[in-house]
Amino acid sequence: MKFFSIDSPFYRFMQRFWDVCKLNLIWLICSLPVITLGCSTIAAFSVTLRMTEDKEGDVIRDFFKAFKANWKQGIPMSIIMLICPLSVWYDFQIYNAIEENSLMFLIIGMISAYLFFFSLIYVFPLLARYENSILNSLKNSYRLGLRYIGRTIILALVLAFELAIWFWNTTTLFVGFLIGPICVMFTISGTAMYIFRDMEKDPASIRHKETPSENADDASENED
């Protein structure tokens, strides 16, 4: 039957769903040591970026190839991923605990959350697609977030909606455990790829140039 043929939309959907499940499982397993969280996230983004262009090959092989290639940047990013949200959380905890003169902690927390969001929202797609230092990638993520502020705000709203569905009840929590993290990365990758392609049309319009890594095709160099 045509419905079950390899060219049918149903078959392609099930194939993509299975790839997402495999990628999510590998990401979870490789993130368990915590210190490798950044490595596995960069590797997962290298796959989801290709998925947005329908260029993915063997999900498992591509993931571990990217994992091996990016571990030097991934380990420091693991620390950054842990420190940033924890620092914001502790700041708001202090704000709630102190009765007097606590406004300063609220302001610091809000500014920190703003800086961390824009610096991290595109940093993993950048690290997955281009050769660059962590510091430059963080700077570029912040600049891209501001330059494409409209799309970034829409992306934030979509991510918030996805997370709300994820934690809606025990059933959605279970489904979210199976595919949630990769769906979030896939959503970010879709916006990131639009931005990357737009920038690559006119490399002179941005301050930095980055050299494409082995995970990317037809990219421009971007460095300080």
pLDDT score for 149 = 95
Please give the average per-residue pLDDT across 110-118, as a whole number.
Answer: 92
pLDDT score for 199 = 81
DSSP secondary structure code for residue 36 in this structure: T
Query: What pTM did the predictor assign?
Result: 0.82
pLDDT tier for residue 36 given thresholds of 50, 70 and 90? very high
Please give the average per-residue pLDDT across 189-217, as a whole number.
Answer: 65
Answer yes or no: is 160 within a domain: yes
d(CA 169, CA 192): 30
Of the candidates 109, 51, 45, 97, which has an alpha carbon nearest to the alpha carbon of residue 74?
45
- Bigger pLDDT: 215 vs 197: 197
Answer yes or no: is 219 within a domain: no
Number of domains observed in the structure of the chain:
1
- Residues with Cβ within 8 Å of residue 35, at least 6 apart in sequence: 75, 78, 79
Answer yes or no: is 218 within a domain: no
Phi, psi of 133 (to 5 degrees): -75, 160
Answer yes or no: is 217 within a domain: no
Answer yes or no: is 222 within a domain: no
pLDDT score for 203 = 60
Under DSSP, is residue 221 helix (H, G, I), strand (E, B) or coil? coil
Answer yes or no: is 224 within a domain: no
pLDDT digits (tens, 9 = 90+) for 38-92: 999 999 999 999 998 887 778 999 999 999 999 899 999 999 999 998 988 888 8
pLDDT tier for residue 137 given thresholds of 50, 70 and 90? very high
Position 207 pLDDT exceeds 80: no
Instruction: Find the domain containing 28 and state its range.
Output: 2-212
pLDDT digits (tens, 9 = 90+) for 139-193: 999 999 999 999 999 999 999 999 999 888 888 888 888 888 999 999 999 999 9
Answer yes or no: is 187 within a domain: yes
* pLDDT above 70 as % of the chain: 84
Answer yes or no: is 221 within a domain: no
Scan for tokens 């993520």, then name that residue: 141
pLDDT score for 210 = 40
pLDDT tier for residue 116 given thresholds of 50, 70 and 90? very high
